[in-house]
Amino acid sequence: MTTAPAQAGWRFKQPSVIPGFGLTLGFSLAYLTLIILIPLSGLIWRSAALGWTDFWAIAVDRRTLNALETSFGTAFIAAVVNVVFGTLVAWVLVRYRFPGRRIVDAMVDLPFALPTAVAGIALTTLYAPNGWIGKLLMPLGLKVAYTPLGIVIALIFIGLPFVVRTVQPIMEEIDKEVEEAAATLGANRFQIITRVLFPGLAPAIITGFSLAFARGVGEYGSVIFIAGNLPYKSEIAPLLIVIRLEEYNYPAATAIAAIMLALSFLMLLVVNLVQTWSRKRYG
């Protein structure tokens, strides 16, 4: 307890007295291979059939680049917004008792359950220039539907539960005494939140962010209704893949998919590293 364990390189975790280490590890690896690895390597293999020059030509194509930029950019903005407001929603749900709290709590999960197309159509109806909300925003010169802004809104809708549901349980574990201790030491409300509560929540918030972000990058159903899908402007990468598929241009489709895969993997890896670092620090 008083000395940090000396870690000498990589080592298998010592199996415990409970048997089943070999069996469970073997099963997990086989399962992951079947479900994730084989389909993904199929993807790489198909796009590899393209040859390096063709692949590169598709990768640096203006339309592809714009689609990727739209997808990752909107997903990032939506995830940031979700982190702020999702944490706030989690805070309200954890900290306060008010009539209807259970209903609000259940409502948070709706984006999980609702078919994404339904969400997309509903949001489009609301934010279209003649829709309830779109009508109010129009005079302010804000056009939401059929622009990247619309995509962001759809992704905020889709990603909210990821943040709330990852932050909420950690928030519930926060000891009230820690806040009281900070208060007796002279910290005001703002200092307690920024210096004591938030750092403790950071790992959960980062997880919520990466989940919402990953989901946003891959989202298709809700976005295509509200995006307007103008090439070079509001066309997302998953849509471009579908378009290529419909043109029977499978190599191009898989090439874009492979690029998305690589980018997503890279970003999730970075998030995971940040995660590990913060876990190590905060124990």
Among 138, 187, 193, 271, binds another protein (CB under 8 A): 187
The whole-angstrom separation of Cα 252 and Cα 246 is 11
Q: Does 199 bind another protein (CB under 8 A)?
A: yes
Going residue by residue from 125 to 164, which x/- string records binding to another protein, judged by CB under 8 A?
Answer: ----------------------------------------
Cβ-contact 138, 144 below 8 angstroms: no
Find the shortest distance in angstroms from Cβ 183 to another protein: 5
Cβ atoms of residues 119 and 222 within 8 Å: yes
What gap in Å lies between CA 5 and CA 1, rounded to an integer?
9
Question: Nearest approach, Cβ of 15 to another protein (angstroms)?
Answer: 25
- 28 versus 191: smaller Cβ distance to another protein: 191
Answer whether 13's CB lies under 8 Å from 22's CB: no
Nearest CB to another protein, comparing residues 122 and 202 = 202
| CA 67 – CA 64 distance, rounded (Å) | 5
**Binding status of residue 5 toward another protein by CB under 8 A:** no
Told to check if 103 binds another protein by CB under 8 A, we report no
Nearer to another protein, 110 or 181 (CB): 181
Per CB under 8 A, 281 contacts another protein: yes
Neighbours of 122 (CB within 10 A): 17
Q: Tell me whether residue 125 or residue 278 sits nearer to another protein (CB atom).
A: 278
Cβ atoms of residues 80 and 210 within 8 Å: no
